[in-house]
Amino acid sequence: MFASCADPAALHGLSWFLCYLGTGKMMAFYASFGTVLLLLAVTAPAALMFGFLGAAAARSRFLPLSLLGKAYAAVVRGVPDIAFFLFFVIALDQGLEYVRHRIKCPDWSEPVRQGNDFVVCSAAKLPLSTSPQWVHEVYGFALAVVTFAIVYGAFASQVLYGAMKAVPRAQMETAEAYGMTHRQAFWRILVPQMWIYALPGLGNLWMILVKATPLLFLLGVEDIVYWAKYLGGAKTAKFTDYPHGDWRLYFFGVLLVFYLVLTWLSEKGLERLMRRLSHGQATAAGEAMRRAGA
């Protein structure tokens, strides 16, 4: 903060507002936009990986693996997102702490479940109480990424499974007739062609993922919704050097603009990717491109 902002009570008008925008809390609000973008950058490929593994498992010739892939998509998609987020984060956190508890405190004689409380030894806590604040924040963010990836990976699994089935079976049979193994035909024939069929569904899933990022607030991560609600609320001189009224409308208006711009950029990127994937493909879009260039 500038030296001119040292005494907020002496500021008025534009100078007061500019100093307010440079406070530490506001800097945290700006940084929270990066948190949302980082979540999307990490979660999208992770969810796609879960989806691909689930789809590949669902079409496996090994029955138990096929049932596992189909069960993953059916169970996770059948549970409301909010319920899954609230349950899975707690279950995963306690599961990790229980494993550490069994390893680090083998002489512990008291039960772990004590009524409604889950009690483990201090050495098994995740993260440790002595850990710096950034460790707690990274741990919470990592739990959020895993949860988002599993949930939206189940939806991606169904999209990719349908895309795999859309590739003509005759192409796989022809590849195997020419001597390719089933695995070679899968990677060289099926996978390269399925993306054009999967992209519309994956594009919609990306938009849903973007709109779901405010759920970080429910997972205890200080995201843009958390800071907008906190900073936008009415503040008095007793609690802050920059008192103001109820500004939540303005803060959430900033979030509205942010998400509209993000979805608009996403649509443009998806359209460009669709045109690139359609080139040379035996689809309606690819045929239209071929005729336009003829």
Question: Does some domain include residue 2?
Answer: no
> Which residues, other chains included, contact 229 with Cβ-Cβ below 8 Å and sequence gap of 6+?
217, 248, 251
Q: With 90 as the cut, is the pLDDT of residue 265 above it?
A: yes
Question: Does some domain include residue 7?
Answer: no
- Reported confidence tier of residue 203, pLDDT bands at 50, 70, 90: very high
**CA separation (Å) from 121 to 118, 132, 135, 195, 274?**
10, 19, 19, 48, 53
pTM of the model: 0.81
Q: With 80 as the cut, is the pLDDT of residue 288 above it?
A: no
Kindly state the percentage of the chain with pLDDT values over 70. 92
Q: Which residue has the tokens 């990424």?
A: 145
Question: Does some domain include residue 62?
Answer: yes
Higher per-residue confidence, 277 vs 58: 58
Q: Which of 162-166, 214-218, 288-292 has the highest mean pLDDT?
A: 162-166
pLDDT of res. 263: 93
Written as six digits, the tokens of 276 are: 């690139």
- Reported confidence tier of residue 293, pLDDT bands at 50, 70, 90: low
**CA separation (Å) from 200 to 70, 105, 177, 278?**
21, 51, 32, 12
Question: Does some domain include residue 214?
Answer: yes
- Reported confidence tier of residue 16, pLDDT bands at 50, 70, 90: confident
Which CATH number characterizes residue 275's domain?
1.10.3720.10
Total domains, the chain: 1
Higher per-residue confidence, 173 vs 219: 173
Question: Does some domain include residue 23?
Answer: yes
pLDDT of res. 186: 87
* Sign, Cα dihedral of 157, 161, 166, 170: positive
Question: Does some domain include residue 251?
Answer: yes
pLDDT of res. 291: 57
Tell me the mean pLDDT in the region 192-217. 89
The per-residue pLDDT for range 90-126, each reduced to its tens digit, is 888 888 888 888 888 888 888 888 777 888 888 888 8
Task: Answer yes or no: are the C-beta atoms of 201 and 159 closer than 8 Å.
Answer: yes
Cβ atoms < 10 Å from Cβ of 202: 22
Tell me the mean pLDDT in the region 176-204. 88
The per-residue pLDDT for range 206-223, each reduced to its tens digit, is 999 998 888 887 777 888
Higher per-residue confidence, 260 vs 171: 260
Supply the range of the domain harboring residue 266.
18-293
Question: Does some domain include residue 3?
Answer: no
Question: Does some domain include residue 124?
Answer: yes
pLDDT of res. 179: 87
Which helix (H) or strand (E) segment holds residue 114: the answer is: strand 113-114
pLDDT of res. 252: 92
CA distance 22 to 31: 12
pLDDT of res. 69: 92
DSSP calls for 65-93? HHHHHHHHHHHHHHS-HHHHHHHHHHHHH
